[in-house]
Amino acid sequence: MNKKFTLSLVSSVLIIIVLVTAYFLMNMAKTTTVYVDPDKVAGSAAQDFTVDVSISNVANLYAWECRFGWNATVLDLVNVTEGSFLKKMGSTFFDYGLNETFGHMVIDCTLLGNVAGANGSGVLVSIRLNVKNKGTSQLALYDTKLLDAAEQMIVHTVNGGHFSADI
Return the CATH number at 144: 2.60.40.680
- Specify the pLDDT at position 3: 72
Sorted by sequence, the CB contacts under 8 Å of residue 43 that are 6+ apart come out as 49, 131, 163, 164, 165
The answer to whether residues 57 and 79 belong to one domain is yes
Q: How many domains does the chain have?
A: 2
- In this prediction the pTM is 0.82
The answer to whether residues 13 and 72 belong to one domain is no
Confidence of residue 163 (pLDDT cuts 50, 70, 90): very high
Furthest-apart CA atoms within the chain: distance in Å: 80
- Specify the pLDDT at position 24: 56
Q: Please state whether beta strands 157-159 and 33-37 pair in parallel, antiparallel, or not at all (unpaired).
A: parallel
The answer to whether residues 26 and 38 belong to one domain is no
Domain that holds residue 65: 33-165
Q: What is the spatial distance between Cα 150 and Cα 126, in angstroms, rounded to a whole number?
A: 27
The answer to whether residues 57 and 12 belong to one domain is no
The answer to whether residues 54 and 120 belong to one domain is yes
What's the pLDDT tens digit per position in 98-123? 999 999 999 999 999 999 999 999 99
Phi, psi of 86 (to 5 degrees): -75, -35
SS3 97: strand
The answer to whether residues 84 and 102 belong to one domain is yes
What's the pLDDT tens digit per position in 18-36? 555 655 555 545 899 999 9
The answer to whether residues 128 and 96 belong to one domain is yes
The answer to whether residues 84 and 111 belong to one domain is yes
What's the pLDDT tens digit per position in 37-61? 999 999 998 999 999 999 999 999 9
